Amino acid sequence: MKQLYDPQLFEYMIESGIDKYVVATYYLEDTVEGVDFLDHFSLIKTLIVEGSTGSWQEVKEETPEVRERLAGKLLGYYEVPSPKNVKRAVIQLGFPIEAWEPNVPMMLLSFSGNCFAYSKNLRLLDVFIPPELAKNFKGPKFGIEGIRGLTGVYNRPLSLHIIKPKMGMTPQQTADQVYQTALGGVDAVKDDEMTSDTAYCRFDDRLDAVMEALAKAEKKTGKKVLYFISITDEVDKVQEKARRAVKNGANGLLLCYSAGLSTLRVLAEDPEINVPILVHPSHMLALLNRISFVALSKLIRLCGGDLTLSPTIWSSIPVASLEESLRCYQVLRAPFYHIKRTFPMPAAGMHPGLLPVLIQEAGIDIIIPAGGGMLGHPMGYTAGAKAWQQAFEAVTKGIPLEEAAKQYPELKAALDKWGTIKRPVTPWTYIAPQYRPLSLQEGSTR
């Protein structure tokens, strides 16, 4: 009698040889209406074979040797308590790296392809990249340390001006806006992700105008500002566009996730493209019901993103939980073989009053992008950029923003308009807040 659960798929665990597999960790939740007997392993078998060797029907060429060598494996199954007639689990599937050459599109097909068709509540939580595979990737050219070297900013977060409106400005209007924030001390600027190469704002003209404005500002401030110009385009155009931008003086590039991880890797590993690459994840948001921001962030880092926008619950677009957001920052900066660290960018609706909480949660190795939270300043664009620099100075010196605002009119105007927030505290380790030691009670100075 044939065994239901093929040992060549199921009789494995993490210790069976993790270095041979990309390990995908998923949350899996399933039920079948009117059915009492739920066999999760039969569903997992389908997920495994669809991401590797098999089909819904056995084929004679899929020999035991082929399955042993190339089929996916169940490495871990961790059941989560659930109501009757519901199965919930965290599972780990290993996909052999021998199944394909180091090839990003093929790798994605293994752990984020047909498997999603078989469960309405399957979510990819994380991906383990084994050393044998990772050695084929170069990762970011610059990373956190490299970008700090380019800007000369080492002991605080960086501010970044998002050019607004998203579309409609001429190259000269764009340059004029950038010039004003550069005078205010901004560290970097970027095109909005929706900015494209159009008749009213040609790519080359915009690059020339903005770089000229930044050079003019640098003569007054002595400060070099990075400009991340959008090169997002069709796959047959984007590399030439990036090379042309660098040749014509660009010191940063913006690539949207919609162009693909493989495109990012090609650009990051091109020796002619010797500037940092900012990845904008807007297109990723459509994937979040199925793939965690953590897994996507790790793949961006692997493929060469020097900086990438990241989620935060203090955002105008709170797309991920507190913990998933924090884990994104941690994964972008954690030791990862030879791969450089990627700058996280807590994004959307950022204003200076959020800075103490952002630094509390993520530390100083972040870049904070601001569009409306800089350009909407009541005293103008230059004052909006100054307010961020004043907030950085205050927070890194341990001075409350409200106290610093007495000295800086730009910061005061920002706080008056947008306010500040106080981060809530959860007293997990005590029965109630009143039983905490005095030194830990809210408002204590002890």
- Cα 421 to Cα 383, 392, 395: the distances in Å are 21, 16, 14
Based on the residue annotation, tell me whether 422 is a catalytic residue of this protein: no
Catalytic residue among 87, 280, 340, 351: 280
| Contact call for residues 27 and 122 (beta carbons, < 8 A) | yes
Concatenated DSSP letters of 212-277: HHHHHHHHHH----EEEEE----HHHHHHHHHHHHHTT---EEEEGGG-HHHHHHHHT-TT--S-E
Name the phi and psi angles at 328, rounded to 5.
-60, -50
Catalytic residue among 20, 40, 138, 164: 164
Establish whether the linkage from the previous residue to 165 is cis, with ω within 30° of 0: yes
Joined tokens for residue 226: 């990075």
Chain position carrying tokens 């954690």: 334
Based on the residue annotation, tell me whether 223 is a catalytic residue of this protein: no
| Contact call for residues 106 and 301 (beta carbons, < 8 A) | no
Q: Which residues contact 97 (CB under 8 A, 6 or more apart)?
A: 20, 21, 22, 130, 132, 133
Joined tokens for residue 123: 């979510």
Report the interhelical angle of 235-247 vs 261-268 (nearest 10°).
30
Joined tokens for residue 119: 């469960």
Q: Would you name the residues annotated as active-site residues?
A: 164, 280
